Amino acid sequence: MNIRIGFGYDSHVFKPGVPLIIGGLPIEHPEGLAGHSDGDVLLHALTDALLGSIAVGDIGSFFPPSDPRWKGADSAIFLNLAMEELLNAGYRLGNVDITLILARPKIGPIAGEMRARVAELLDVPLDRVSIKAKTPEGLNLDHVAQCHAVAMVERVQESEGLKSMSDVIENQRQLEDVVEDLLSSVHGVPKKRGLPQVYDTDDIT
Ligand code: MG
């Protein structure tokens, strides 16, 4: 498949006396998000969306909460690993669309800064990142931050180097055709071809 999608979701409860970090952005607020790591609900949902797009598991399988190494960890580490997994699988990020759901603080005034930070962490242009925020109307979840994220990824096209190798093979086939035609016309040697040549890719080292 050339294009795949991934979806991620996360939620964290607000806790007094903890720094608030959402989308890799430190935010002035009396409460932060409780968690084994820095509690960055947005980066966790986004990491799961990226891992999900190539079906390699979830954030918990890579970074188990039982592992003391991830206590208080910067969630950008998780996101970086997901991006590496994506590249190793032969894909690159197309775009991400993210919805935050929380009562406070208001995201509107800092949405631009948060979007720029996420684009920077993903190393993609700004127009590939969308961040929207809603309040949890009617859910009685004002003490919780939730986040949904979807990511579209696309297979990396074969490199220019590989393309030119294909060109060489094509030219070689054409060359053999020309030589056979010449032999056939000059010496009456019957043409060997009839079926297209089959390449055993295991033999190409
Ligand atoms: Mg989380």
Q: What is the pLDDT of residue 154?
A: 97
Question: Is there a cis peptide before residue 125, judged by omega within 30 degrees of 0?
Answer: no
Roughly what angle, to the nearest 10 degrees, separates helices 111-122 and 76-88?
A: 40
Q: How far is the CA of 197 from the centre of ligand 1 (A)?
A: 54
Please state the pTM of the whole predicted model: 0.76
C-alpha span between 115 and 123 (Å, rounded): 12
Q: How far is the CA of 35 from the centre of ligand 1 (A)?
A: 7
Q: How far is the CA of 193 from the centre of ligand 1 (A)?
A: 62
- Report domain extents, the chain: 3-155, 159-194
Neighbouring residues of 76: CB distance < 8 A, sequence distance ≥ 6: 24, 43, 121
Give pLDDT tens digits for 157-171: 765 445 555 555 566
Q: How far is the CA of 65 from the centre of ligand 1 (A)?
A: 10
Q: What is the pLDDT of residue 188?
A: 72
Q: How far is the CA of 44 from the centre of ligand 1 (A)?
A: 5
Neighbouring residues of 37: CB distance < 8 A, sequence distance ≥ 6: 44, 63, 70, 71, 72, 73, 74, 75, 78
User: Is the predicted pLDDT of residue 147 greater than 50, yes or no?
Assistant: yes
Q: What is the pLDDT of residue 204?
A: 44
Q: How far is the CA of 83 from the centre of ligand 1 (A)?
A: 17
Q: Which of these CATH numbers, 3.30.1330.50, 3.40.50.720, 3.40.630.30, 1.10.3720.10, describes 3-155?
A: 3.30.1330.50
How is residue 17 written in tokens? 């006396």
